[in-house]
Each structure stands twice: as C-alpha cells, then as structure tokens.
Amino acid sequence: MTAKTFLLSHYSYSPPKYSNFRPSNFSFHSFYYTNGMGRGPFRYGEGLVKRNSNSNSNSWKVWADVKSKPFKITESLKIDDPISDVSSKKKEDDEGDNLLIGLPWWEEFPKRWIIVLLCFSAFLLCNMDRVNMSIAILPMASEFHWSPTTVGLIQSSFFWGYLLTQIAGGIWADTVGGKAVLGFGVVWWSVATVLTPIAAKLGLPFLFVVRAFMGIGEGVAMPAMNNILSKWVPISERSRSLALVYSGMYLGSVTGLAFSPLLIHKFGWPSVFFSFGSLGTVWFAVWLSKAYSSPLDDPMLRPDEKNFILSSSVSKEPVKSIPWKLILSKPPVWALIVSHFCHNWGTFILLTWMPTYYHQVLKFNLTESGLFAILPWLTMAISANIGGWIADSLVRRGISVTVVRKVMQTIGFLGPAFFLTQLSHVNSPAMAVLCMACSQGSDAFSQSGLYSNHQDIAPRYSGVLLGLSNTAGVLAGVFGTAATGYILQHGSWDDVFKVSVGLYLVGTAIWNAFSTGEKIID
C-alpha cells in the first residue's frame, strides 16, 4: 500500500490508551504520521497516532509507550483530509510566525522595505551623478574659459531633458510598471554621465546635448518611484518610506560633494564622471533580480506580507487611461503644482550653485567648497527622516492627513525663507554655512508635505500627478538656475536669495489655502 504522509501543526494531546478520537478534539504541532505502512517515524510524548486504513470511518488509534524506528519515505501524496485542511488553514493564519522560524534574517526582512532601499540607492546615484557637475564646473570653466552666463546655461541644460520626461515617465510608470521605467532611467543617465567629459572636449553643443540626455534619464526616476511605492507601501508607512528614499538624494549630494574634489585633485575632473557613472551598472543588476512593480507580480513574496500590503494599500488596479480633465479640474492638484514650482526654485539653486557661492563669497578653495557644501545635504538627510517619522506618528494618533501635510510643508517653506534672509547679515563663513544647513534642514520637511501628497489625493495616478507637479518643479530649475547666472553677472547673491524667499512665501499661502490630504481622485 502506498504511504501517505501528512504534515500536522501544533499537536498537543494526551489521550487515554487505545481510545478513538476525532481531529476536532485536539490542536496540532509539528508532527508526521503515516497511513498504511506502520505507526510512523515520530514519537510525541507517550503516544503515536495511526489512522485505521481498513475502515471507512475517520477513526484514529493511539499506542502508548511504543517505540518505532525511523524509516525514510521517499514519496508524499497530497490527499483531501480534514486534518490536512486544518493544517493548511493554520499554515495560512500563522504565515510569518511559525513558518519563518529558523530562516536567516535577510529572508525575514520585509520585501517592501527592500524595494524602498533599492529606490533609496537609485536616488543616491541620481544625485551623485547630478551634483558632481557643480564641483567639476569650476575647473572646467577655468580650462574652457566659460563665463558665469555660460556656466548657468550648462547647469540648466540638464533640466531641458529632465523636463521632457516628467509627465511621460509618469504615464509610462502608471501603465507599464515602475520597475522597467526606473531601471531604464538609471541605465540612461549613467551612460550620459560617462559621456560628459567626452562631450565637453568636443564643444558646448555636444555638452548641452549630453547633459539634456542625462536629464531625460533622471526625469523618469521620481514618477517611477512614486508609482512603485504607491503599490508597495501602506499608508501608515508612507511618510517615512518616502522620506528615506528622498534622503537618498541628499546623501547622494553628500557623497558627490565629498568625493568629487578628491577625485579631481588626484585624477582630474573627467574621473568624477567616469567613476560615478559606472556605479549604475551594479545597481541595475540587483534591481533586475530583486524588484517587482507590484506585490502581485512578486512570486517570492510571503503571503502574510502580501495580504498586509494589499489590505492597507490603496493602489492595486492597473491604470488603462488617464482622466486628464478630472485631474486638472481639482484645486488641490494646482496647489501641488504651484507649490512644487516655488519649492524647487530655491532647492535647485542651492543644489547647483552652492559650491560656487562658497568659492566666490566665502573664499573657500575647491576642496573646501565641496566639503562645506556637504553639511546642508547631510542635515537634509537626517531631518527628512525625522520629519517622516513625526508625520506618520501624527497620522497614527488620529491627526488628519490634511493637517499633517500642511504643517510639514509650511515648515518646508518658511524655514528656508527665514534662514536665507539671514545670510546677508552674517559676517563669518561658519555662520553662513550654518544658515545654509538650517535652511536645507527645514526644507527637507517637504518630503512629508507636498512630496507625500501625490499618493494622498490620487493614489492610482500618483506617477502621473508627480510628473505634472515635478514638471513645474523642473521649470523652476531651468529658469532658476539660468536666472541665477544672469543675476550674478548683473547683481549679487542677495538678489538671488530674495527671489527664492519671495517664492517660498507665495508657496506657503497657496499650499495652506488649497491643499488637502484626502483622496479626491479614485
């Protein structure tokens, strides 16, 4: 007779000797028993269980004080059995508890946070490849005899391509899936980074094109990331997961600003682009093997985590068409777009021009400019995560999402505005660096404000919505970066900061008047 082996769970029963019992009278613990080939290889306490194969009834017998030698069963058959049914149900209920015992920690680590960390590392590379130009532009301008206006145009050419792929990247991510879009973006901008020194030596038109191509790759990153996290991250973890990912941008700036001067000093300015650009291939290999656009696409995702994500997430169904008229008719959408423009004007100016400010105004040398420029971005990385945890804690305590988003973004606007106004009153480089650090540190609270709001108001279209608002943000980068070069050629840094402060105040008023944390588009 063929052996039939069953896996039972949570067995704890001590029946009277030779008594019959039903499966409903006991609970199970890890235990194997056999039917038709003996009493089984395992002994639990003082009794073994055997099913009576010669009877049509579900009768069971217990032999006490019987020892049997283990024997190997090479074939297991799955049959319908009430005990198997109970075991299967218990297995589903206890997934993530009993079945994970003995697994290595990296297999127990939540998959959704692996996705978050991969997005974090992509944004780390994103800003490393972007910010290196702000350091390398100093020796490049000296070598090629570029004026401040030319430098501003070179810096802004990145945003020409970045602008083109914001909405397109959002549509692509919402319809095709974020995995392919983000992977494409990283490979594309990494190749463009490597080609930058070659283009610079060929001439300005080639450099403009390559920097624009780099912007095309980085332009799809934010919409793709927003799409992925809207599917993978529950609402209760939204602020801190987004804060962590965006802090990757800040730490990317820290890494780029820290290593660029050292590489330039030792190997020359082209080495920055060659070394940073090559890191994208490593990330892409890991991304292909570990990432999925949605929990529904991941065959290795544990059932307990999948159920938790799908029961808490609000973005499940794929998008087939974009309701443009509905989206553009909502005042909170326009509040998001305008606020994103006002926010990015100041952020991108500091991102691209801060080392030049340190070099020209504070008289730091190249290495000092890069190193001191690290502090504001390091402050942003820390404060963004602090803000994310605060925002999620407030939401869990019952504070409305609308109030949380408005408070966090108000800090993100008024904090930088205040500290930038103090720069004209400080007399020491140390105080100027401190003001910059405080400005950027308070700016990072925006990750729990407007940057989290896309998933709040339109979770299914979060990629498209981020593409829309970030298009306005990119326009701020294009105009702000180029305008800064023009202002510096005809004015002063005080004039540059006054424009940023004015836009911060406009953004604060519009955000508090029209934004919301409630879902307005299903």
pLDDT tens digit sequence for 487-510: 888 888 888 889 999 999 999 999
User: Phi and psi of 6, rounded to 5°?
Assistant: -125, 145
How open is the CA angle 298-303-309, to the nearest 5 degrees?
Answer: 75
Question: Which value, in Å, is the radius of gyration of the alpha carbons in the chain?
Answer: 30
DSSP E strands, 286-438: none
Segment holding 47, helix H or strand E:
strand 47-51
The DSSP secondary-structure symbol of 62 reads: E
Beta bridge partners of 64: 47
Write the DSSP string, 81-97: -HHHHHHHHHHHHTTTT
Residue 155: the pLDDT is 83
Report whether 497 contacts 423 (CB < 8 A): yes
Query: Could you give the CA distance from residue 182 to residue 173 in angstroms, rounded to a whole number?
Result: 8
Q: How far is CA 311 from CA 234, 277, 317, in A?
A: 8, 39, 13
Q: What is the pLDDT of residue 223?
A: 87
**469, 170 Cβ separation under 8 angstroms:** no
Domains and CATH numbers, the chain: 108-314 (1.20.1250.20), 324-521 (1.20.1250.20)
Q: Give the position of tokens 């919409």.
A: 223
CA torsion 304→306→312→315, rounded to 10°?
A: -170
Q: What per-residue confidence (pLDDT) applies to 32? A: 43
Residue 380: what pLDDT?
86
CA 299/CA 292 separation, integer angstroms: 9
Tell me what pLDDT residue 366 has. Answer: 66
* pLDDT, tens digit (0-9, with 9 covering 90-100), for 366-422: 667 666 777 887 888 899 999 999 998 998 898 999 999 999 999 999 999 999 898
Q: Phi/psi at 50 (nearest 5 deg)?
A: -140, 135
Q: What is the DSSP string of 125-185?
A: HHHHHHHHHHHHHHHHHHHHT--HHHHHHHHHHHHHHHHHTHHHHHHHHHHH-HHHHHHHH
Per-residue pLDDT 10s for the chain (522 aa) are: 444 444 444 444 444 444 444 444 444 444 444 444 444 444 444 444 444 444 444 444 444 444 545 544 444 444 444 444 434 444 444 444 444 445 565 566 788 889 999 999 999 999 899 888 888 998 999 899 998 888 888 987 887 888 888 888 888 888 888 899 999 999 999 999 999 999 999 999 999 999 999 999 998 998 899 888 888 888 778 888 888 998 898 889 888 888 888 899 899 999 999 999 999 999 999 999 889 988 888 888 888 888 888 876 555 566 778 889 999 999 999 999 999 999 999 887 876 777 778 777 877 776 676 667 778 878 888 999 999 999 989 988 989 999 999 999 999 999 999 998 988 788 788 888 888 889 989 999 998 999 989 888 988 888 889 889 988 988 887 788 778 888 888 888 888 889 999 999 999 999 999 999 998 987
Q: What are phi and psi of 494, to 5 degrees?
A: -60, -40
